[in-house]
């Protein structure tokens, strides 16, 4: 809720979390969902969030969908086929587009069993304990898209057993989630952006279309890009996103808008973070705030991190100092 761009996946579709909120409680006061939501909630600058009510569509009837993949080398992406997918996995080695197609009828028992088994095998593979030294020898994160295609292939799933087709492995990772215009993402992909990735960088991308008159900052389709590296490579990640990737983005769109998921890693003191803050300001978020208590490293809504406090009501021990952010 404090991230500015949190999202949720329902089988074959993804939505911004703000588009599902009907009301929320901050410091004991209840507010109806409106265009001021981001300003009220962003990085907890206005105080503790004590309650949230969601639209009933958050809970859906069971349905079924088919999952399939197509893949390319980064320099040979078929952008027409690529652009119609739901989720994208990519590294400098391989790019996979994943298609989630709603099924009109329940698949056979055999199809469901095969789908669950292969999906479960992929989950086990990602969560296999990997010693940290391996990451220095093998570019593990280059293989995610390949493994996804080889292990899962084409399967049928139920939203009851697999409501979210993406599962986060237990591997220690550093990740940055950056949102950009969907059209800009397609242009970057067509121009070979994946070829510029560092060896240990992998990405998962979701296409998210806001509802009409969304209370969030985006009113058009967005590519939500999750950049991931093994723990210990955070400096490389920050530099790539804030320099190489951002430079490529500005080359195709000098007025490119971006936002960060402020619950994940963010490259502090950078032009791209300031661009994200400017985007939030354009949709009604107040910058340079002076909160009574600071509950987040960016609670002042500037590109310079600050010390923060954990809300005493939620923790036995009040922490008044913090490790400089981003966390290393």
**Contact (Cβ atoms closer than 8 angstroms) between residue 104 and residue 64:** no
Nearest one of 231, 251, 228, 252 to 240, comparing CA atoms: 228
Distance CA 26, CA 47 (A): 6
Cα 21 to Cα 25, 36, 198: the distances in Å are: 11, 12, 38
Number of CB atoms found within 10 A of residue 282's CB: 10
pLDDT at residue 169 in the model: 64
Taking only the tens place, the pLDDT of each residue in 274-304 is 999 999 999 999 999 998 888 788 999 999 9
Q: Which residues of the chain have pLDDT under 70?
A: 125-143, 168-171, 310-328
pLDDT, residue 54, reads: 93
95-102 and 173-181 as β-strands: parallel, antiparallel, unpaired? unpaired
Class of residue 220 by CB neighbours under 10 A (exposed 0-12, middle 13-18, buried 19+):
exposed
* CA distances from residue 174 to 134, 213, 246, 304, 321 in whole angstroms, order as listed: 16, 33, 18, 20, 22
| Six-digit token string for 326 | 């981003």
Residue-level pLDDT at 306: 84
Whole-number pLDDT of residue 142: 64
**CA 145 to chain CA mean position, Å:** 16
| Maximum pairwise Cα distance, the chain | 59
Tens digits of per-residue pLDDT, 251-282?
Answer: 999 999 999 999 899 999 999 999 999 999 99
What residues are paired with 183 via a beta bridge?
Answer: none
Distance CA 42, CA 47 (A): 10
Taking the model in full, what pTM does it have?
0.87
Question: Residue holding tokens 């049928």?
Answer: 156
Q: Quick one: the chain helix, strand, coil %, rounded to 5? A: 30, 25, 45
What does the alpha-carbon distance between residue 256 and residue 248 come to, in Å, rounded to a whole number?
Answer: 11
**Which residue in 172, 267, 261 sits closest to 218, CA to CA?**
261
Residue 176, classed as helix, strand or coil, is strand
Over residues 136-155, the pLDDT tens digits come to 655 666 667 777 777 877 88
- Dihedral angle over CA of 60, 149, 166, 2, nearest 10: -120
pLDDT of 72:
93
List the one residue out of 273, 211, 202 whose CA is nearest residue 242: 273
**What does the chain come to in residues?**
328
Nearest Cα neighbor of 159 from 17, 61, 37 is 61
- Phi-psi category of residue 60: left, alpha or beta, with phi > 0 → left and psi -120 to 50 → alpha: beta
Report the C-alpha gap between 325 and 328 in whole angstroms.
Answer: 8
pLDDT number for residue 315: 64
Residues 6+ apart with CB under 8 A from 215: 18, 19, 21, 33, 34, 35, 37, 38
Q: What pLDDT shows up at residue 293?
A: 80
- The closest of 129, 168, 326, 127 to 237, measured between CA atoms, is 326
Token look-up 């958050």 returns 58
């Amino acid at each position: 809720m404090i991230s500015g761009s949190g999202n949720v996946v329902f089988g074959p579709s993804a939505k911004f979390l703000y588009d599902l909120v009907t009301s929320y409680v901050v410091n004991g006061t209840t507010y109806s969902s409106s265009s001021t939501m981001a300003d009220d909630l962003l990085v907890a600058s206005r105080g503790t969030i004590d309650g949230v009510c969601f639209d009933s569509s958050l809970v859906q009837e069971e349905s079924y969908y088919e999952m399939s993949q197509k893949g390319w080398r980064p320099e040979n992406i078929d952008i027409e086929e690529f652009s119609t997918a739901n989720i994208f996995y990519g590294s400098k080695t391989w790019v996979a587009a994943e298609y989630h197609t709603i099924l009109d009828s329940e698949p056979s028992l055999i199809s469901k069993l095969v789908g669950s088994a292969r999906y479960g095998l992929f989950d086990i593979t990602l969560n296999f304990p990997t010693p940290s030294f391996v990451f220095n020898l093998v570019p593990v994160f280059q293989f995610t898209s390949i493994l996804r295609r080889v292990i899962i292939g084409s399967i049928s799933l139920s939203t009851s057993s697999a409501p979210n087709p993406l599962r986060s492995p237990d591997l220690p990772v550093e990740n940055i989630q950056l949102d950009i215009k969907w059209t800009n993402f397609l242009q970057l992909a067509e121009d070979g952006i994946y070829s510029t990735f560092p060896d240990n960088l992998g990405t998962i991308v979701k296409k998210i279309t806001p509802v009409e008159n969304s209370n969030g900052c985006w009113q058009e389709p967005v590519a939500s890009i999750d950049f991931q590296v093994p723990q210990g490579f955070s400096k490389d990640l920050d530099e790539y996103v804030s320099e190489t990737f951002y430079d490529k983005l500005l080359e195709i769109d000098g007025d490119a808008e971006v936002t960060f998921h402020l619950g994940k890693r963010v490259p502090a003191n950078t032009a791209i973070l300031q661009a994200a803050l400017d985007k939030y300001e354009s949709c009604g978020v107040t910058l340079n705030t002076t909160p009574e208590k600071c509950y987040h490293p960016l609670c002042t809504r500037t590109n310079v991190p600050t010390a923060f406090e954990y809300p005493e009501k939620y923790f036995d021990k009040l922490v008044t100092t913090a490790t400089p952010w981003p966390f290393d």
